[in-house]
């Protein structure tokens, strides 16, 4: 894979920012709507918004893409990740441990990608992966490992399942955009995956809870989440993965955990410990390692 362009890194930065903002939007939105229905409303609204454009301008491309098995792997793996994470967080799992487990795809992707993408685990990626994971542990525990204990075993299993889902999501996206269909239309792929996630989250909503009406107070958070953390972020992510490898993406994506901390500090006035600041610094260091040395597939 050739060196990623500035545009691809810029697209990944937009995706990271959008997904980082989702933490704040979801935190406020869940005060009014149950988690799994909230997930459906988010992706359902995004799908409905784009459907007229796809029917008018991308119908044939959509029909071709929806027949590709990797499109379904992308959509189902992301759906499983999101649904299992939401269900896991409903169990009695410490917030720090929940964040750590859901981001453990950092250490899963490099060991799966050789089998699906033929991407070798290079030394610089191993270093970056380790540094990023230590940073996540620092942030999640805030220096007190008790913050990672006393959690539901079922919740832990669900969150680990979510991490596996996210890992396959990253890898399968890279597989489709770099091997199966290198010239795939990003917009059509984006819509196809949105549709699969919407259907999956609708099924999960009807299975595990119900589909309530949306209270007026929750509408603004669904709209913000749909625009910034779904429409813009996912489109940018698919664009970035056309050039950025799955191994690099697995190290860059944890940067999203820094976004809510910045919002908390500068807007909400919350103060965090030295452990959180150190963990954030380590994640940034990991990012610099993979950006400066992007050819992680080389031995």
Query: pLDDT tens digits for 20-45?
Result: 888 778 878 878 888 888 889 999 99
Task: Write out pLDDT tens, residues 84-112.
Answer: 988 887 776 666 567 777 888 888 888 88
Say if CB 80 and CB 161 are below 8 A apart: yes
* pLDDT top residue among 36 and 64: 64
**Mean pLDDT, rounded, for 109-130:** 83
Task: Write out pLDDT tens, residues 212-243.
Answer: 788 888 899 999 999 999 999 999 999 999 88
pLDDT band at 65 (very low <50, low <70, confident <90, very high): very high
- Whether 1 is in a domain gets the answer no
**Amino acid 294: pLDDT:** 54
- Whether 71 is in a domain gets the answer yes
Spatial distance between the Cα atoms of 60 and 70, rounded to a whole number of angstroms: 18
Closest CA to 29 of 49, 11, 45, 51: 45
* pLDDT top residue among 124 and 75: 75
Contacts of 146 (CB under 8 A, 6+ apart): none
**Amino acid 48: pLDDT:** 96
- Whether 215 is in a domain gets the answer yes
Q: Which domain holds residue 273?
A: 6-292
pTM of the full structure = 0.84
**Amino acid 147: pLDDT:** 59
Burial class (CB in 10 A: 0-12, 13-18, 19+), 222: buried
- Whether 12 is in a domain gets the answer yes
pLDDT band at 1 (very low <50, low <70, confident <90, very high): low
Does position 140 have pLDDT exceeding 60, yes or no?
Answer: yes
Domains of the chain: total: 1
Instruction: Please give the mean pLDDT across all residues of the chain.
Output: 85
Closest CA to 109 of 156, 177, 71, 164: 164
- Whether 299 is in a domain gets the answer no
Q: Please spell the DSSP secondary structure of 98-153, one letter per residue.
A: HHHHHTTHHHHHHHHHHHHT-----HHHHHHHHHHHHHHHHHHHTT-GGGG-S--H
pLDDT band at 263 (very low <50, low <70, confident <90, very high): confident
């Amino acid at each position: 894979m050739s060196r990623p362009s500035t545009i691809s890194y810029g697209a990944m930065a937009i995706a990271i920012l959008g997904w980082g903002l989702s933490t704040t939007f979801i935190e406020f939105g869940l005060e009014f709507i149950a988690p799994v229905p909230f997930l459906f409303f988010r992706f359902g609204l995004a799908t409905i918004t784009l459907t007229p454009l796809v029917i008018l301008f991308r119908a044939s491309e959509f029909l071709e893409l929806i027949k590709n098995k990797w499109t379904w792997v992308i959509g189902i793996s992301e759906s499983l990740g999101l649904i299992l994470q939401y269900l896991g967080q409903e169990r009695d799992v410490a917030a720090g441990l929940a964040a750590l487990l859901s981001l453990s795809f950092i250490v899963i992707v490099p060991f799966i990608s050789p089998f699906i993408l033929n991407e070798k685990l290079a030394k610089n990626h191993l270093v970056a992966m380790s540094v990023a994971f230590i940073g996540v542990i620092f942030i999640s525990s805030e220096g007190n490992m008790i913050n990672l204990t006393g959690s539901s075993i079922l919740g832990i299993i669900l969150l680990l399942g979510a991490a596996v889902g996210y890992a396959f999501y990253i890898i399968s996206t890279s597989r489709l955009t770099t091997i199966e269909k290198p010239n795939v239309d990003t917009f059509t792929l984006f819509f196809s995956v949105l549709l699969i996630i919407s259907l999956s989250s609708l099924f999960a909503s009807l299975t595990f809870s119900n589909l309530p009406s949306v209270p007026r107070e929750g509408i603004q958070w669904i709209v913000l989440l749909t625009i910034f953390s779904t429409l813009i972020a996912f489109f940018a992510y698919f664009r970035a993965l056309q050039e950025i490898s799955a191994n690099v993406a697995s190290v860059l994506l944890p940067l999203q955990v820094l976004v809510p901390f910045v919002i908390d500090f500068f807007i909400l006035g919350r103060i965090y410990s030295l452990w959180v600041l150190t963990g954030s610094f380590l994640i940034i260091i990991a990012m610099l390692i993979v950006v400066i040395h992007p050819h992680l597939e080389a031995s």
